[in-house]
Amino acid sequence: MKTIVANLFAVLLFILPTHPVEAFRVDGLKTPQSFIVDPALGNYFISSTNGAPADRDNNGFIVKLDGSGKPLLFIRGGSPQITLNAPGGLALQGNKLYVTDIDSLRWFDKNNGRPLGHIDFTGIGAKRLKGLAFDDESNLYISDVLANAIYKVDTGNDHKVSVFKKDNRLGNPSGMVYDPVRNRLIVVTRATGKILAVGPDGRITPVIQNTFKSLCGVDWDRENNLLVSDIAEGKIYRVEKFSRTKIIRENILTPAGISFDYARNLILVPSSKGNVAFTIPR
């Protein structure tokens, strides 16, 4: 078994392959929140708050890994010109890596970690930014889990910010993914355990009648089924064709912002209280 060790300011990060060729596990993280893949290059990014989700301690970090799980780069709060208090949701657009950070949105060069921009959302009442999702027109949507809101950032228009939807029916929105076929956002909720659709007109409708306990992450698999993580139940579900629900994996300690690697057919799972991240072959 191959073991790769990297040092991050006295924190050891161990990469322990657990499945031939592709699946791997990352130990030594600090409250990981989001785990995504770069579809263009096959690299991975994991955000870690390294403390409480509202602490402005500038010690959060993002680790970049290659396709086998080997560390390539750390973007560390407290490094020169870098602020990262409690990095949460992640999203990629071209060479830009976007991350939510309490009530701010930050973005970095995905190749070298250089900071490229920052927006403070406190002026529109933001409380705790969480999930990120791009639509087909380069608009970036951001969920606010405490303010029951979704914000919209027009990245092609100098990152113009607007309130897309604010409504208590959003039930503490967490993870989001865009549905290009139906031109809508799919939103999973922490407080109500619902999977909702939010249309371009802001109309909110339930995707399925099932309710879960406390949903955190969501993405599509290869068959266009939804994958969702229940952070309270410790389970990952597959929702087939907006109908039948099946448990994919259970007994996971706080699965947070999951996503899916289409090229390798892997579910990417950060365990926030477990301080680990791992992949599940599909």
Q: Are 189 and 167 in contact, with CB atoms under 8 Å apart?
A: no
Separation of CA 58 from chain center: 19
Give the model's pLDDT for residue 265: 96
Does residue 7 surpass a pLDDT of 70? no
**Chain segment 196-253, per-residue pLDDT in tens:** 999 999 999 999 988 899 999 999 999 999 999 999 999 999 999 999 999 999 999 9
CA distance linking residue 219 with residue 154, whole number of Å: 22
Structure tokens at 182: 């139906």
For 129-152, the DSSP string reads EEEEEE-TTSEEEEEETTTTEEEE
Single out the residue of 73, 98, 70, 64 nearest to residue 84, CA to CA.
Answer: 98
Q: Which helix (H) or strand (E) holds 63?
A: strand 61-65
Give the model's pLDDT for residue 282: 86
Is the model more confident about 223 or about 20?
223
What average pLDDT does this structure show over 119-141? 97
Structure tokens at 127: 């409380």
Domains of the chain: 4-281 (2.120.10.30)
Single out the residue of 55, 71, 51 nearest to residue 4, CA to CA.
Answer: 71
Q: How many CB atoms lie within 10 A of CB 10?
A: 5
For 184-208, the DSSP string reads EEEEEESSS--EEEE-TT--EEES-
Task: Give the lowest-confidence range in 17-26, 40-49, 55-64.
Answer: 17-26
